[in-house]
Amino acid sequence: MSKKITATLENDASPFLGCHAVSANGYAFCPVIVTPSSAPGGVGGDSLIAQFPRGAAATEARQVLDITERSLKALGSSLSQGTKIEQFIAHPAAAAPYLEVRATRMETSSRPASTNVQVAGLVDPNVVIGIQLISHIGGPAKEPIVVPDMPASPGKPFKPAPHAVVHGNFLFVTGQVSYDFDEGYPAAAEIDEDSWYQSKATVEARYILGKINRILGYLGGSLTDCVKLEIYLNDLSDVVDLEKVIRESFGETSPAHAYIPTIRLGPTHCRVEINAICRKPGSKGQIVHINDADSRSGSWIAPIATEYGGFLFTSSLCGNLAGRLEVALPLSDQIERLFEKLQLLEPLHKSGMDRVLFASLQIPKGADLGGLRWAFQQIKGLEGIAISPVVVQPPLLWLHGGVQGDFICALG
């Protein structure tokens, strides 16, 4: 592992947890940061959004992008070197002005692999915009990939954004939905000709994985090159059906995958959006799938993690008791068990928290954020992790869960 370096900016708002950014193995990880405008009376408040939605959201968007740029600069990277970006909106009026501001900071044709979703909130109720970003440091420039004759956001007449971004041995796939940005909603994703009772999310997921396979195929690869999937969905009750699609599509070699509940996706009538981190087709590195007894027995998501390219990527983890999803635990116990599960993974067993780079956390709406923050702060080494929390509508994967998360860790 190359030396892990963290960045904490003295003159910017402190993160809810962890640091502003962290880097290792040639990549920087920047989490959702609470901007200075989130203070009481700031421009991010819901009352101002309601009165002046475009101006208030545009101001916050500029601040979010500014603090992200400063965080990345401290590690030798920049927005222009971004390879993967998640954009979270906590108020529908914020979406358009954020995208307009982003267009002034990132070229559409070379922007990072992007996902745009509306969540229930961020960790400050006054904040309506948050982004999390992975960017490369030095080395060769990233390469945007646009597959010929495949519709891409934002659609005609605009210049298409990348379907994926290649850098080094990685391919980052933009969030895909069952929507044709040139022609509209395709019948293939809306109608299931074989069954009238099958979940609409099932049909959408099959269609989306077909699109991801097409992107990989354009470069000479296939779904077997997928290392990590992030699955954004409007209704967590679709998880069981989506797990069936994952197993049907990948068999015994499914990638690590995380489920993130949303309020709605970009095309509002879609239920599922999936992005992917993949092995660059043609790269010789092996993808290692990590399981434990619980995942092999089917009581949890399998695999629990995957290794590739000097990194370990986990599936969604919760602080539940194995095989006892009906048991409620105190929040502090859940958080302690969450990190115990992480550190029990063999590649991390002896390294403590030093190898953990990035934590994407989902917190159910209504949770005690103060208590949750205190419980997290008891974890030794947390200050060296880029922690990206978003508030989502309950329930989580575990009905009694107060938090769930997926992680990226450095190996090698």
Structure confidence by residue, pLDDT tens digits, 121-177: 999 888 889 999 999 998 889 999 999 989 888 777 777 899 999 999 999 999 999
Whole-number pLDDT of residue 267: 79
Q: Are 371 and 363 in contact (CB under 8 A)?
A: no
pLDDT tens digits, one per residue of 288-316: 999 876 555 555 688 999 999 999 999 99
Whole-number pLDDT of residue 320: 84
134 burial via Cβ count (<10 Å: 0-12, 13-18, 19+):
buried
Q: Is the pLDDT at 199 greater than 90, yes or no?
A: no
Whole-number pLDDT of residue 293: 63
Whole-number pLDDT of residue 164: 97
Q: Is the pLDDT at 41 greater than 50, yes or no?
A: no
Q: Please, which residues bridge with residue 86 across strands?
A: 115, 132
Whole-number pLDDT of residue 125: 82
Q: How far apart are the C-alpha atoms of 171 and 62, rounded to whole Å?
A: 28
pLDDT tens digits, one per residue of 352-366: 789 999 999 999 999
Lowest mean pLDDT among 265-269, 322-326, 404-408: 322-326
What tokens appear for 131 in the block? Answer: 């982004």
| Section 95-122 average pLDDT | 92
Whole-number pLDDT of residue 43: 41
Which contiguous run of DSSP H or E holds residue 102? helix 95-105
Whole-number pLDDT of residue 89: 93
- Closest by alpha carbon to 170, among 212, 228, 238, 120? 228
Which contiguous run of DSSP H or E holds residue 273? strand 272-279
Whole-number pLDDT of residue 134: 98
pLDDT tens digits, one per residue of 265-285: 887 788 999 999 999 999 989
Q: How far apart are the C-alpha atoms of 16 and 32, rounded to whole Å?
A: 9
End-to-end CA distance of the chain: 4
- Give 193 or 363, the one with higher predicted confidence: 363
| Section 78-98 average pLDDT | 93
User: For the chain, what is the mean pLDDT?
Assistant: 87
pLDDT tens digits, one per residue of 50-77: 666 667 888 889 999 999 999 999 999 9
| Section 12-20 average pLDDT | 88
Report DSSP state, residue 45.
Answer: S
Whole-number pLDDT of residue 194: 59
Whole-number pLDDT of residue 270: 86
- Closest by alpha carbon to 411, among 348, 368, 333, 363? 348
Whole-number pLDDT of residue 291: 86
Report DSSP state, residue 325.
Answer: T
Whole-number pLDDT of residue 185: 59
Q: Is the pLDDT at 105 greater than 50, yes or no?
A: yes
- CA-CA-CA-CA torsion sign (130, 275, 307, 398): positive
Q: Is the pLDDT at 191 greater than 80, yes or no?
A: no
Q: What's the number of CA atoms in the CB half-sphere (13 Å) around residue 168?
A: 18
Which domains does the chain possess? 1-139 (3.30.1330.40)
Lowest mean pLDDT among 28-42, 185-199, 316-330: 185-199
| Section 198-221 average pLDDT | 92
Q: How far apart are the C-alpha atoms of 319 and 332, rounded to whole Å?
A: 9
Q: Is the pLDDT at 321 greater than 90, yes or no?
A: no
- Closest by alpha carbon to 255, among 235, 274, 277, 237? 277
Which pTM value belongs to this model? 0.93
Percent of the chain with pLDDT strictly greater than 90: 59
- Give 256 or 46, the one with higher predicted confidence: 256
Whole-number pLDDT of residue 401: 87
Lowest mean pLDDT among 104-113, 289-298, 355-364, 402-411: 289-298
Whole-number pLDDT of residue 408: 97
Complete DSSP assignment for 152-187: -TT-TTSPPPPSEEEETTEEEEEEE-S-BTTTBS-H
pLDDT tens digits, one per residue of 338-350: 998 898 888 888 7
Whole-number pLDDT of residue 158: 73
Lowest mean pLDDT among 32-36, 269-273, 284-288, 381-385: 32-36
Longest dimension (CA), the chain: 59
Q: Is the pLDDT at 187 greater than 50, yes or no?
A: no
